[in-house]
């Protein structure tokens, strides 16, 4: 029996955004999307893909993360200067960031809501609103 969830298969997900299903991109797509929502850095993903025995250069990791972001498969989250996080959940949502562990995690559902959104400065339009709740280990 066949799942009807869209893009169950890595190859279809790549096809849907017009990227060729290469060995490297397939491995990355599987790691990223076949285990629920994820938040990864380039180095993390490189370590993971290497661990499962697939050889992918770090340059390709960066290329792929940027391409996936450009086509809307991923979004980038800025939590600390120095390194980028990529998020497989592209819907509007907010984050907890653990300063001790560097772990980024979604804030569930609507458990944080802005009561008022402020008026954007003159001649500007609001693009997005990012809420980051910074936490520390107790």
The residue ranges that bind DNA (CB under 7 A) are: 19-25, 41-43, 55-60, 62-64, 66, 81-84
Residues 31-90 binding a copy of itself (CB under 8 A) are: 78-84
| Contact of residue 42 among DNA, a copy of itself, Zn ion, none (CB under 5-8 Å per partner type) | DNA
By C-beta, is 14 or 94 nearer to DNA?
A: 14
DSSP for 3-48, written as a single string: --STT-SHHHHHHHTT----HHHHHHHHHHHBTB--EE-HHHHHHH
By C-beta, is 101 or 108 nearer to DNA?
A: 101
Residue 48 CA to residue 53 CA, distance in Å, equals 9
């Amino acid at each position: 029996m066949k799942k009807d969830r869209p893009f169950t298969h890595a190859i279809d997900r790549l096809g849907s955004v017009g990227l060729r299903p290469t060995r490297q991109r397939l491995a990355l797509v599987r790691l990223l999307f076949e285990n629920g929502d994820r938040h990864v850095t380039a180095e993390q993903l490189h370590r993971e893909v290497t661990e499962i025995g697939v050889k992918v250069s770090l340059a390709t990791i960066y290329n792929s993360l940027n391409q996936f972001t450009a086509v809307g498969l991923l979004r980038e989250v800025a939590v600390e200067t120095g390194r980028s996080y990529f998020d497989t959940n592209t819907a509007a949502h907010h984050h907890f960031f653990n300063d001790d562990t560097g772990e980024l995690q979604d804030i569930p559902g609507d458990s944080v809501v802005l009561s008022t959104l402020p008026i954007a400065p003159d001649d500007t339009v609001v693009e997005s609103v990012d809420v980051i709740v910074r936490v520390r280990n107790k």
